Structure 1
Amino acid sequence: MIGMCFYNQKRFACGDWSWTSFAHRCNYEYRTGETCGMRLVNMTEDDRSKCRLCEKIETKYRRRSAEVDRLERWQREGGTLVASMDRSQKLIMELEKEIRTLQRERDDRRSTLLR
C-alpha cells in the first residue's frame, strides 16, 4: 500500500498559507496501512483574500477604532456617562490585548514555517 503525503496548498494575500485538499500518494511507507507522516506541497494556489488571523486582527482593529471614536465623542460632549466611559476604556484595553495575542500567534506561525 502507498502512503499519503502530497497535498495542495493555498497561499493568501498576506503571505500566510494553509493546506487544502489531498493530492496524491508517495511511495514511502512505514508499515501497511500507515502513511509516511510528511506533507509535501503538490501545487500552490494563490488566493487574494487574507488568512483567518489577519481577518480577525482587522475586525478587532475596526471594533477598537469605533470604541475609541465613541469614547472621544462622550468626552467632548461633557462626560456625564462616567460608567459607560469606564466600560469603554476597559473594552479598548481588552481589544488591544486580543490584537497583540493574535499578532503574536500569526508571527509565531510564520517564524515556525521559516525554520
Structure 2
Amino acid sequence: MSVLKSAGAMLLAAGGLALAAGPALALTVTNQSDQAQEITVDLGNDEPKTKIEAGKSANLACPEGCEVRVTGMSYGLSANDGDKVIVGKDLRLSFADGAQAANGAGDKAGKKTKAN
C-alpha cells in the first residue's frame, strides 16, 4: 500500500512540475511604457490581441515563432516561445536580454545575435 502512495505522490509531483514549467515556454512581453498597450501576436492564421497594463507582463503563446506588434506601430519583432520582449517607453520592441532575432520573419529556429 505504501508503494501505491509513493507512486501517487511521484505522479502528483511530476504533474506539478509540468504545470510550473508551462509559463517558461511562453513568450513573455513586459510593458515598460507609461500606458496600457495592446499587443498583437501574429501566428500566421491567427492574430490574438492582448492588453497589457503599464508596468505589467503577460505570457503569450508563440509556439512556432511569431511576430509581436504594438498597436499603432508600423513594425514588429520576430520572436519565439521562451523569449522575453520589452515594450519600451518609446513603444519600441526589444529583447530583454539585449539579443536580436535572426534575420527573417517567421524564423522557426529562434537563433539570436548580439545587438549592435
* Same structural fold, with TM-score higher than 0.5 when normalized by the shorter chain: no
Q: Which has the higher helix share?
A: 1
Q: Which has the higher strand share?
A: 2
TM-score, normalised by the number of residues in structure 1: 0.25
TM-score, normalised by the number of residues in structure 2: 0.24
